[in-house]
């Protein structure tokens, strides 16, 4: 995770420099970084959970690769990178929400079981109290 954060920070700096400097960084390094980010998004499930954003990122990257103009290539690459990051974030959010819903449902079942068991315990305690009272009366009447 730390390596991914460092990697993404480096890519962000490279993208910023690409927009601000007279001499853009090697566009192929940028393209490779975006390929990696798209892979990270896919590993997060973006191809299924955020398919529009994921497909946009791939399409923008393909356009960047096909572009002849360096400035256009850089702009398309930046957009592809941001779309890939968005797709990853959406996929992670959906995954987390799905897990939260699953855990809430599981918790509800456990709470229902606890209520049922509490009722069974109360019945057992009432039966015990009744038996103890009957036995006390029998002992006192002897």
Q: Reply yes or no on whether the pLDDT at 115 is more than 90.
A: yes
Query: What average pLDDT does the segment 84-102 reach?
Result: 97
Could you tell me the pLDDT band of residue 134, with boundaries at 50, 70 and 90? confident
Q: Reply yes or no on whether the pLDDT at 83 is more than 50.
A: yes
Could you tell me the pLDDT band of residue 3, with boundaries at 50, 70 and 90? very low
Question: 84, 41 in Cβ contact below 8 A?
Answer: yes
Global pTM reads 0.67
Number of C-beta neighbours around residue 25 at 10 A: 15
d(CA 64, CA 81): 11
Encode pLDDT of 5-55 as tens digits: 555 555 555 555 455 444 555 888 889 999 999 999 999 999 999 999 999
Identify the helix (H) or strand (E) that includes residue 12.
Answer: helix 2-20
Q: Reply yes or no on whether the pLDDT at 68 is more than 90.
A: no
Task: Find the range with the poorest average confidence among 47-56, 92-101, 127-136.
Answer: 127-136
Give per-residue burial for 88-127: e unless 16+ CB within 10 Å, then b: bebbbebeeeeeeeeeeeeeeeeeeeeeeeeeeeeeeeee
The pLDDT mean for the chain works out to: 86
d(CA 38, CA 82): 10
Q: Reply yes or no on whether the pLDDT at 2 is more than 60.
A: no
Residue whose C-alpha is closest to residue 61's, from 22, 27, 14, 18: 27
């Amino acid at each position: 995770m730390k390596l991914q954060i460092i990697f993404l920070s480096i890519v962000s700096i490279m993208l910023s420099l690409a927009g601000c400097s007279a001499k853009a960084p090697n566009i192929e390094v940028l393209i490779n970084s975006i390929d990696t980010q798209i892979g990270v998004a896919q590993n997060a499930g973006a191809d299924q959970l955020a398919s529009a954003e994921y497909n946009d990122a791939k399409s923008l990257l393909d356009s960047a690769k096909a572009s002849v103009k360096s400035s256009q290539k850089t702009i398309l690459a930046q957009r592809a990178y941001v779309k890939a990051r968005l797709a990853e974030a959406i996929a992670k959010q959906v995954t987390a929400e799905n897990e939260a819903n699953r855990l809430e449902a599981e918790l509800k079942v456990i709470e229902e079981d606890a209520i049922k068991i509490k009722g069974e315990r109360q019945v057992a305690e009432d039966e015990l109290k009744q038996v103890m009272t009957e036995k006390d009366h029998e002992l006192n009447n002897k």
